[in-house]
Structure 1
């Protein structure tokens, strides 16, 4: 079956980002995709939290989410909306992914579990936990592209999450992201291929790319990786829509060759000698 990935350079205006998403949804459906995957923070990418505050809403009032649901229903396509910044009832934010069906209904939500707090040698400083609350659960949802395990960006570095998703029945793993260029160049391909190989899953990673209005630069290279670790699609650094053909029989084939899921055992307590 055919899936589509939208590689974006999201900016500080949700109306502009929403228009890009609507166009991507329509084009993906017109080109025969059963599902479209979009990046982390598809609706707004703005590191200036004071400026961004006026564009942040609770889920019921989130305009980009409403536009994507409407566009998915109009086009008759599933959409994995990589994530939006959504206000929670306690006033904090969630970095939340949505799986939307061809009727525009939300089939699943996932709040990013692992938050990125770091000071980089480049001088960049990131403190997600200053504004965002971590999620509290892992999610697998049935879609036409297979049982889909959800994650977001920094989650990629925590292999145990993907092992749990695969053990819960996932055949395909979504990793929407906004990796910086330095970390992307160093680790993006290696980590995504590793997660595919470790779990025997397809990995679909729609990414932000290029120079953004808020001053950051992201790595791009949206990828589709098959369960053997082969790269089926690499979108490079430009914006646009990419397509890949996936065959879920490949999951069973690879897992039969290297049955890591059936061989996995609980890790005993570590003894430091």
Structure 2
């Protein structure tokens, strides 16, 4: 299966972001991708955390979900829809949710980000808990012959989540990593998740300087089960393509049967 990680530099204009997402999905399909993954917050990176509340959708309704479903159906793609805000249990909270659509346009999986990012180095400060409501359930889905485990951005730092996906062929990590943390940890952690779980990793990211002044690390990439980076885009909008090879997956697991050696 050929897969595509789509990199964006989203801003506060939802319609413009959706148009960019559609164009990148079209580019991926034209280059032969069968599965395409958008980055975290592909639909909006606003001036304030609370901007997510204004565009939050209910499951099954809204222009963001309509864009994802229509693109999947019209382009014949599996679409991992980055993340979008879905309404939470209280009016001042949303879920940061990944929705997955099959080539018929049906929504076949939902994952709500479990781990909420907080960071403060005296110059940059983030606290997703101000507006986000955490999820609690690991989620997998089947895309043809490929079993996929879902996660989002900060989840990457918690290997116990990914251990629940042992046996999956592909891990998806849509993200909007800060430049500061991404420079040091992004590729390191992604390669570790691929190696320890002996599977492919697809990581579509936000990558550039956004209208609100925030800079994201980018480096959208695909990694193989041996930890090799197959393709990467450092910064700016674009499509990162790679082939998932079942023979390579089987070779890695056979020559070093680490998953079979687990004790805990």
TM range (shorter): over 0.9
Aligned partners of 2:79 and 2:116: how far apart in 1? 24
Q: How does 1:1-273 map to 2 (within 5 A)?
A: 1-91=1-91, 92-121=93-122, 123-144=123-144, 146-166=146-166, 169-266=167-264
- Corresponding residue SS for 2:248: helix
How many residues are paired up? 263
Post-superposition Cα deviations, 1:216-266, rounded to whole Å, max 9, x if no partner, equal 110110010000000001111121112111202222211112212111112
Cα 1:131/1:52, change in 2 over 3 Å: closer
Unmatched 5+ residue regions in structure 1? 267-273
Distance 1:214 1:104 in 2: 33
Structure 2 CA distance for aligned equivalents of residues 149 and 86 of structure 1? 20
- Unaligned stretches of 5+ residues in structure 2: none
CA distance in 2, matches of 1:114, 1:50: 19
Distance 1:134 1:54, change over 3 A: closer
- Structure 1 residue 212, shift from structure 2 partner: 0.7
User: Which one has the largest radius of gyration?
Assistant: 1
DSSP-derived class of the 1:214 partner: coil
Aligned residues of 1:8 and 1:208 also touching (Cα < 8 A) = yes
Q: CA deviation at 1:12?
A: 0.7
TM-score (norm 2): 0.95
CA contact (8 A) 1:62 1:86 kept: no
Q: Deviations over 1:14-52 (max 9, x none)?
A: 101111111122221122110111101111112513444
Distance 2:15 2:236 in 1: 21
